[in-house]
Structure 1
Amino acid sequence: MATKYAIIMSEIKKQVENGTLGPGKKLPSVRELSERYACSKNTIIQAYHELEKEHVIYSVPRSGHYVVNRLRPHPDGITSAIIDFLSAGPDHEVMPYLEFQHCINQAIDMYKDELFHYTDLAGIQPLRLQVSRYLQNLQVFSPPERVFVTSGVQQALHILIPMPFPNGKRNILVEQPTYFGMIESAQLQNVTTFGIDLTMDGLDFDRLEFFFRHQEIKFFYTVPRFHNPLGHSYTNEEKKRIVRLAQKYDVYIVEDDFLGELDPNPKSDPLFSYDPDGRVIYLKSFSKIMLPGLRVAVTVLPTIMTNTFLRYKFSTDFMTSALSQGALEIYIKSGMLQGHLKRIKVLYHKKMQLLLAACEQHLPPDVVYTQPASGFYSTIFLPGHVKARRLAELLQQKNIYVDDARRMFLPEFQRDDMIRLSISQVSEHQIEQGVKEIGRCIRFLLGKRDSPSQLSTAWL
């Protein structure tokens, strides 16, 4: 006979599965459920605790419990939680909901004049000042006058891609693979974009120099730390070498340092630190380390480009949300951000180590995968005739979601032999289980092991 807490768990799962309780929906309080089911509060607490362990719900201190994702029925009629290696937003359980809510409430009072008027196109001055100070922790030293606020890094890229640069060149160079938003924006704006392979061994610097010398490269877009999708990070010496080549051939660098705060190596520097006066344009997003819906990022520009950048920004919007800017300024100034960063730095490092240990144990020996120290992403390179799209489809049938990474390539670089795993929204206890199933599916597609019937019951 099922225990009372197990019955309660089952009923909550059914409501999540049928949509009665949707993603983000707040669950009844412990007291309310204990009265409804005529049981002790400890029984409800145990049910909620088990649902948290299964990544069905998550808790917000002093607020309550919320639904993470809708559950999906297994083909054999068993309901199982999603193992989400696909989503790339921050971990729901560590996002600073209540802290930031407090900052928003303060911002409404402090910045009420800005809320009813158009503010500075470059961003509100108090935020630019706080960000200028904050970036010093990342070895980015720049006065507030060179810091510009945008509605996410995506807007900054959309501005920079068509914008004329002081070198008078028009073409763009990107790593392959790279962040899909960069590729999409370049293609929509019909800007000639070249690609250079980024492999397990890094960049081919002879090839990089060839592009810089012969292809009229306006800027080189790079994600030098915890690359999306590879998880790759350049060494300091490699960063210096990239900057030297850019200086030699009059090429600008657009450095997307979206996860720089997670770097466990205190001696790792951004490219910007090797040419702070004008060669490197530095992008910093607050979406991945905090709240995606905040839609605030900053761009550090050389002085010679500031007026042009503002003119192009004006064509996309008159201003970035003053409320978001004000709340972020308060969040940084109060010290809350630094406390939050300490927590997530430990969390994502631990998750990545769990992922790499699981890959080592459960993937076939001929499967190669990247091994980042932290960050969100690692990539598995598939062996033989195994196709990423087919593997992703097979895993989806088992409620495991991965990214086949096709959208992260320019058309001429397209490949179908790698999958990206993101650890940001998968719970710690699911990581090994998910990788184990990925290993099973790869073996099945290789024809080495596991029949289809075995695969269909492997979840049990």
Structure 2
Amino acid sequence: MSAKYIEITKEIKRRLADRTLIAGSKLPSVRQLSERFSCSKNTVIKAYEELEKEHFIYSVPKSGYFVVNEFRNETNENDVIDFLSAGPDKNVMPYVEFQHCINQAIEQYKEELFTYSDQQGLYSLRVQLVKYLQNLQVFTQPERVIIVSGSQQALHLLVSMPFPNGKSNILMEQPTYFGLLESVHLQQVNTFGIELSMEGIDLERLEYIFRNNDIKFFYIIPRFHNPLGHSYTNREKKKIVELAEKYDVYIVEDDFLGDLDQNSKSDPLFSFDPSGRVIYMKSFSKIFLPGLRIATVVLPTLMINNFLRYKFSSDFNSSALSQGSLELFLKSGMFHSHLKKIKEVYSTKMQMLQEACELLLPSNTHFSKPTSGFFLSISLPENMTAKQTVHMLNDQHVYVDDASRMFLSEYKKENLLRLSISQVNESHIKLGIERLAHCITFMNSRKNYITPSDSFLL
């Protein structure tokens, strides 16, 4: 058995080396290879498994095995087209300015930054955050603001803790932020989904779920959704809050990219909430410096003590040095200048990406059309999977994200790509979409056709 499976792996590697097999090529079936090499099916499966471990091929359930990549030289960083990374653009990060704030914070606060601090967060920072949040139409008091170690921590705590409504199930848009999915899966919380498209959600369906499914909270990304890029209208936001109030459901509003909204009349759900129904979350990871691990949560007063108990069991308090430095950065006005710069950068990149998609993508491909933000999603033709496309594009140094991980299992779509504009070079955007378009066209042409390289071992 061993000699045969090694013979098969060597033959496939040789075909990769001489480029008889190229990225995306479908390999013969297990049955076909077992006949060709006069061996058992288990021998062929072992050969394919070994090649898959070495990342030469990959499997698609019910479709077979495909080539991941060819033998090639190391990639030059300048050749990489990065639609995958979702952190902020490194070229517009205010490293030097923030370094001054770190030094000033150490000088100003000294011992206070290096001992245990207020569980709720530095009061002076919470004062500055209240002023900052007013620009986002979030009007609150420092006593309702809690500093957390990134929005992921806040989500994990909210998933685990009891809510005043005494309910236990969580509702989320489909697709949604994968960090929440990880948290609910790890904690084995019962979840429901509601489908989201660029046209929004079905509000009648939302009311039905609120009424019948014991919903603790509805997690929603109202502006520049991850991964779709969708934004709700003010009318929709108001209606969602009204339904939540009617059926005693809390809303967890993740407004992580709200600062990038060019529409001055667009408001958060929090602004339509007179009764403390909306929990507002604002992270600084995407718009500023992810390494700070700072986010803020505005909670209803009756939930604060319980939230702080759960946070205490997690990390006692968030980094005081990060908090003190951010306070000075906000207070100095440098943060306002930073936001002005990045709004223009990301808006320009998103416009370029949409223009490229409109010009180059085949007609049987659909893409979302956000006005700004980080994310745009692409629905591939039915005969393609996102996993397969990611592998083919990787070979051309184009990196995109398979969005299938952003769904609950019963809603999963295998043909959705997520593209992020945050770290891609502007000069690479059109070229990247051009390569994606060629990939789609290539796969469309192969739908009912076997090339010579597919059948080299038949």
TM above 0.5: yes
Aligned-residue offset at 1:409? 0.8
- In structure 1, C-alpha distance between the alignment counterparts of 2:282 and 2:114, rounded to whole Å: 27
Cα contact 1:140–1:276 (8 A) shared by 2:
no
Equivalence for 1:38: none
Q: How does 1:304-383 map to 2 (within 5 A)?
A: 304-383=302-381
Equivalence for 1:75: 72
Correspondences of 1:14-93 after superposition (within 5 Å): 75=72, 79=76, 81-93=79-91
User: Higher RCO, 1 or 2 (CA under 8 Å, sep at least 6)?
Assistant: 2
Distance in 1, Cα, partners of 2:374 & 2:81? 15
**Aligned-pair identity (%):** 60
Q: Does the 8 Å contact 1:141/1:276 carry over to 2?
A: no
- The match for 1:217 is 215
Q: 1:452 deviation in Å?
A: 12
Find the counterpart in structure 1 of residue 182 from structure 2. 184
* Distance in 2, Cα, partners of 1:423 & 1:317: 33
TM-score scaled by structure 1?
Answer: 0.81
Q: Which residue of 2 aligns with 1:418?
A: 416
Number of residue pairs aligned between Structure 1 and Structure 2: 381
Aligned position for 1:156:
154
CA contact (8 A) 1:74 1:398 kept: no
- Any idea what SS the aligned residue of 2:160 has? coil
Change (3 A) 1:445 1:148: same
TM-aligned CA deviation for residue 126 of structure 1: 0.3
How far does the alpha carbon of each residue in 1:205-249 deviate from its partner, in whole angstroms, 9 at most, with x for none?
A: 111111100000000000000000000000000101100100100
1:93 is displaced (CA, Å) by: 0.1
Q: Residue in 1 aligned with 2:13?
A: none
Q: Distance in 1 between matches of 2:213 and 2:248?
A: 12
Instruction: Tell me the residue number matched to 2:198.
Output: 200
Deviation at 1:73, TM superposition (A): 11
One-letter amino acid of the counterpart of residue 154, structure 2: A
RMSD: 1.9
Residue aligning to 2:6: none
CA distance in 2, matches of 1:402, 1:306: 39
Match of 2:121 in 1: 123
Quickly say closer, same or farther: Cα 1:144–1:77, change in 2 above 3 A: closer
Q: Deviations over 1:384-441 (max 9, x none)?
A: 2111100000000011100011211112222211100000000110000101111110
Provide the residue aligned with 1:439 in structure 2: 437
Q: Is the 8 A contact 2:404 2:415 kept in 1?
A: no
Deviations 1:336-373 (A, max 9, x none): 00000000000000000000000001100121100000
Matched AA of 2:232: Y
Distance in 2 of aligned mates of 1:141 and 1:124: 19
TM-score between the two structures when normalised by the length of structure 2: 0.81
Does residue 274 (structure 1) correspond to residue 275 (structure 2)? The answer is no
Partner of 1:42: none
Match of 1:147 in 2: 145
Distance in structure 2 (CA, Å) of the matches to 1:424 and 1:398:
20
Aligned-partner Cα distance in 2 for 1:344–1:77: 32
Which residue number corresponds to residue 64 of structure 2? none
Match of 2:395 among 394, 397, 410: 397
What's 1:107 paired with?
Answer: 105
Greater gyration radius:
2
Aligned to 1:49: none
5+ long unaligned stretches in structure 2: 1-68, 452-458
Cα deviation code 1:70-116 (max 9, x no counterpart): xx999378845211100000000001100111101111111212223
User: Where do 5+ consecutive residues of structure 1 fail to align?
Assistant: 1-71, 454-460
2:163 pairs with one of 165, 169, 186: 165
Instruction: Check 1:299–1:259 CA distance in 2 against 1; reply closer, same or farther (3 A cut).
Output: same
CA contact 1:111–1:323 (8 Å) conserved in 2: no
SS in 2 for 1:281: strand
What's the counterpart of residue 230 of structure 2? Answer: 232
Cα distance in 2 for partners of 1:137, 1:95 equals 21
Name the CA distance, whole Å, in 1 between partners of 2:331 and 2:302: 29
